[in-house]
Structure 1
Amino acid sequence: MSSLGALPGAVVDDGVLAHLGNPLGEQRALRAGRALAPLGARAVLAVTGEDRLSWLDSISSQSLARLPAGVSTETLVLDPHGHVEHAAGVVDDGESTWLLVDRARSDDLLAWLRRMRFRLRVDPQDRSETHAVVAGTVAAVAALTADAVWHDPWPGVADGGWGYAHAEPHPGAERDWCEAVVSRDELDALAAAAARGERELAGALAADALRVAAWRPAAGEVDGRTLPHEVDWLRTAVHLDKGCYRGQETVAKVHNLGRPPRRLVSLQLDGSDVLLPEPGAEVQAEGETVGRITSAARHFEEGPIALALVTRTLAVDAPLTVVAGDETVAAAQETIVPPDAGRTVAVPRLPRLSRRR
């Protein structure tokens, strides 16, 4: 990321381009397809070998054994109790299966994949030294020379999946998002073009704000005990009818009986200049802690927004407050996962809250 750090106004934190001086303007440009966002927090793994797809199918939550080349999907690695350990965007090019994962967890995931090879013809590798991830709209990413392109399936409901959020329309319905796997040389060329004023870039803050507004779960929503049901991840990352994999019994039980112990909500925070809460900040109802913030952002249209995991029994219309630094901020909740979400529960469609002006 050193070439990006040399750009005027660039703020780089731990190898991640946070912004270039105007995060709200970068959001507009990114959503409109005028800008591209280098995602330094993403790592690139690749699995080669004849057994790669059937092997990944057997150890993760998505049906991958017959994944066609060029088709994008998403999968989760769960612990034996069904809690999310890793999430990966998946696309196969006919020779390699590319996994786009959270950089902070990539070493642990790679080590686990290598332990699970046994005698199968598979070879997991970390390609992050030679490759990077650059994101944007389909049209914006098409201008890049990429080894693979992952099209985010969110918020569609994949074959074998199940959507819990019933807002109409879903806030991610028009989400146009791709992540391209490019060489480090291509990333340097992109930075050079941006320095000459020929390309427009956006930082991770802009990309994350668009994600939070679309209710899209990611690494921030994983805390060691997260179930896929709690964050509506059955929608894109779980196949409920595929064969056995680690954690499947819990996935099936919670879905069939309903009532995951926590549920994801979207929060609109009161005040346009409010201090954004940090992940882990308390969400309170009548002075009692009922959940914690998982992600927060300042959106160019909606103002300060957040995702939070709250207890299942919290009333969907309960007034909430969030602890942000030394402040306590009022928050309006919007239901993502209903309290009784599951296969047998009929949930009415819920209207969205009006957008901020």
Structure 2
Amino acid sequence: MKSNKRIILHYDMDAFYASVEIRDRPNLRGKPVIVGTSVITTCNYEARKYGLHSAMSVAKARGLCPNGIYLKVDKEKYSRVSKQIKNLVLRLTNKVEFIALDEGFVEITDIIKSYLSYEVFAEKFKRGIFKNTGLTCSIGIGYNKLSAKLASDAKKPGGVTFIKDIGEFADFISDKGVKLIPGIGKKTQEILGLKNIVQVSDVLKISLQELRSILGYNRGEMIYEYCRGIDNRKVSSESKTHSISNERTYLSPLEDKEFIWSEFLNLLVKTHKRLKIQKFHTKTLTLKVRYLDRKIITKSKSMNITTQNIETLKKLMLELFEEIDLEKKIKLLGINLGNLSENKEYQLSFKNIENIKKERKIQELKEKINNFRKNIV
């Protein structure tokens, strides 16, 4: 093996939420199991035979699969199992990038040298997870993150696929539809479809300049490279948290102002708790509202300094709350704490200090004017 060649593994737990529920309730085995309250978060492969899939409304799913087992999402349980899986992976190496509760990238460039083959290592990886959790996963091993991810999707559930170099990538991808490429969603497919670009092989026939003109500079370049198996992203074990958020969707539309405020307060308390647990301070607060007509608005405000004080955040939230149109019916509320800092003590800059002094002077002046007016009266 060449020293500069990277070897990346991508693992993806099979129908994770549903598999955890079936593991804990063996009587569900062989039956279509769907996890989700209003929208499907995941369903097992028996349910998928009925045309069910993630993001489908549960109402529609019940029409297609009336005899399915419909379960509520148990986030705490899934998080516990996810942590167990992550700890198992971290026994191998700390060169791991967890991208969701049920999947992650692992750089195995050095580790795999101790094994006879990719096949031997992949099977041992799968056996280790099954032995400790009772769950199965699909494995992809590639020469970069892109190839590893596509490989893990190739033989689900429980499959193992290898794409060892660009030559094997070309053989794997050329006859596939463009939707297989990360970054190509429904809208991008439609745009490419108007140009009769449907297969990856179609993308390979056009120039980088032409693709940029169709999709925009950055996205065009990314798709151009991905279709050729080029991906220089590293496995980032230092995945930083940029924000912490919570949302809630309501079955019945919200109209009462006091109730909406109380719900925002509940969301703030939950989000603030996570902020403290993760030992972050925040500088920006954002409120999110989705109306009954599906229109989404956000209102944000930033402070001069970072804080972890919930009373300060409540005052900031109240200012934003007053800017929201509450005449329309609301279906979703959300709160986001952003511009996070791990510093326990924030050193004020001279500019911060001067701004604070100015604000205090203005406040003192306002108080003097008010007192003066009161005395005149």
Give the TM-score normalised by the residue count of structure 2.
0.26
Structure with the bigger percentage of strand: 1
Structure with the bigger percentage of helix: 2
Give the TM-score normalised by the residue count of structure 1.
0.27
Q: Which has the larger radius of gyration?
A: 2
- 1 or 2 for the larger relative contact order (CA 8 Å, sep ≥6)? 1
